[in-house]
A and B are shown apart, each in its own frame.
Chain A
Amino acid sequence: MSWLSNFLTSAIGRKLVMSLTGLFLIVFLLIHLTGNIMILIPDEGASFSGFVEAMESNPVIKVMSIVLILGFVIHIIQGILLYFKNRHSKGGKYAVIAKDNATWASKNMALLGTIIFLFLIIHFMDFFIPMKVLKEYGHHQLYHKVIAAFQNPVYVVLYVIGMISLGFHLAHGFQSAFQTLGVNNEKYSPFIKKLGMLYSIIVPLLFALIPVVVFLTHQK
């Protein structure tokens, strides 16, 4: 199997891993958003709790949640390894930095990824760890915990910053993942680029809307 390890540690092999885990996480975001957006339905959390219940009782989701965590871990570790490999390959900084030859996001994927990672730590500490690991409360109470957490304006701001970073990360990452896979030609590349741009605006925007709307509508 040395051919496989050789491939996976090559520059293009590493990029393929980044691309595939990235696309997997992109799909996950849609599922996550489908559930979360139900928080905004004004039914005292009935729809949201129903969704959580369905997810919690589904064995496929249980298995996929392990795959998901693996996906995150591999994407993050590979990203860090690539960052240091590439930093080593670069000879040094130019006195004048050209700004018009690439997008800001494309040159700052590691920085954006780090901000998203810090956001994820806060996000996990808020909900995942107390509920799933420490079992401080059951998933039936999740709706009220979410509403309570977003009463705090600091959290709301942190979540919005996290989502802005996610938007820029996706703006480059979405189309970049396809380019790495070798999916680039005049027939479908314009569509992929447009879809990527729409995705990277709409999905983080809807995510960010949840804490903002909860904060504005549930003030005591």
Chain B
Amino acid sequence: MKLTLKIWRQNGANDKGHFKSYDVVANEEMSFLEMLDVLNEELINRKEEPVVFDHDCREGICGACSMVINGKPHGPLRKTTTCQLHMRHFKDGDTIHVEPYRAKAFPVIKDLMVDRTAFDRVIQTGGYISVNTGGAQDANNIPIAQSIAEKSMDAAACIGCGACVAACPNGAAMLFVSAKLNHLNLLPQGEVEKLERTHKMIDRMEKEGFGACSNIGACEVECPKDIQLINIARMNRWYFSSAFAGDQ
């Protein structure tokens, strides 16, 4: 299949950036990233700069691949990362726009690669459970209702790829932060530091320059791991508690 790619080329954060058109011949079995690999091989052979993009596991669990394909983070297929998106979902002769995530807190490093360390700094402020010593205790000694464990596991599916931020017209990271908070706060081990964690992570999220949620819901639709808006509702409740609760 013959494709026309309009790929965003940008040489560093201070460069203005522009779309450049490339013709590429792919086949339907290729993943989107493999198709880009083919393009990059050709560019290298022609002694041109290859297109820079993030990728790692290529099996949908690391959250590294991060581009916006035809206006959608991770492309047109729901609940799928770019690495798991196959070319059979495109047609011969298609023109495909490929851009980096656009958000203030995710500055472009080069071409399609953006700096997502803002997420790491949010995690550093509270995305952990403070058990500093001893071995892990027997899991069966910690009683937890199955329904709660499921909710936590649903939130834990977040791979921190940042598609929610990229899809949000407000550049907000509420779905990501709420996923991390629900993952930890709902479990008995994480419940101890629930309010403190909520306060710290949201505070860091704001300092990183992410926007405010207006419940548009594009994040939920574009999330490759199907993280639900209900996580944000729960996060808001914890945040209200953390803001208004006294020490007693």
Q: Let me know if A152 is at the binding interface, CB within 8 A.
A: no
Residue among B174, B205, B213, B221 with max Cβ neighbours from chain A (10 Å): B213
B111-156 residues at the A interface, CB under 8 angstroms: none
A103 to B215, CA, bound (A): 11
Q: Let me know if B217 is at the binding interface, CB within 8 A.
A: yes
Q: Let me know if B85 is at the binding interface, CB within 8 A.
A: no
In the complex, residue of chain B having the shortest beta-carbon distance to the beta carbon of A14: B212
Contacts of A14 in B (CB 8 A): 212
| Residue in B103, B229, B233 whose CB lies within 8 Å of A91 | B103
**Binding-face segment, A53-61, A62-70, A176-184, A198-206:** A176-184
Interface of A, secondary structure class, is helix
Contacts of A7 in B (CB 8 A): 243-244
B104 near A12 (CB under 8 angstroms)? Answer: no
Residue among A6, A179, A183 with max Cβ neighbours from chain B (10 Å): A179
Q: Let me know if A27 is at the binding interface, CB within 8 A.
A: no
Interface of B, secondary structure class, is mixed
* Contact count band on B: 35 or more
Q: Let me know if A217 is at the binding interface, CB within 8 A.
A: no
A102 near B217 (CB under 8 angstroms)? Answer: yes
**Binding-face segment, A30-38, A80-88, A127-135, A158-166:** A80-88
In the complex, residue of chain B having the shortest beta-carbon distance to the beta carbon of A179: B215
Contacts of B197 in A (CB 8 A): none
Q: Let me know if B64 is at the binding interface, CB within 8 A.
A: no
In the complex, residue of chain A having the shortest beta-carbon distance to the beta carbon of B100: A91
Q: Min CB distance, B104 to chain A, in Å?
A: 5
B221 near A102 (CB under 8 angstroms)? Answer: yes
Q: Min CB distance, B215 to chain A, in Å?
A: 4
| Residue in A95, A102, A179 whose CB lies within 8 Å of B19 | A95
A185 to B228, CA, bound (A): 11
- A98-B171 contact, Cβ under 8 Å, with A91-B102, A182-B234: no
Contacts of A103 in B (CB 8 A): 216-217
A97 to B205, CA, bound (A): 26
B185-224 residues at the A interface, CB under 8 angstroms: 202-203, 205-206, 209-218, 221-222
Known contacts A90-B103, A95-B6, then 14 further A-B pairs from the complex at CB < 8 Å, ordered by chain A residue: A7-B244, A90-B102, A90-B104, A90-B169, A91-B103, A91-B171, A94-B71, A98-B72, A103-B216, A106-B216, A172-B215, A179-B233, A180-B213, A182-B237
A residues at B contact (CB < 8 Å)? 3, 6-7, 10-16, 82, 85-86, 88-98, 100-103, 106-107, 109, 172, 175-176, 179-185
Query: Closest 5 interchain pairs by CB?
Result: A89-B211, A96-B71, A89-B171, A184-B233, A91-B102
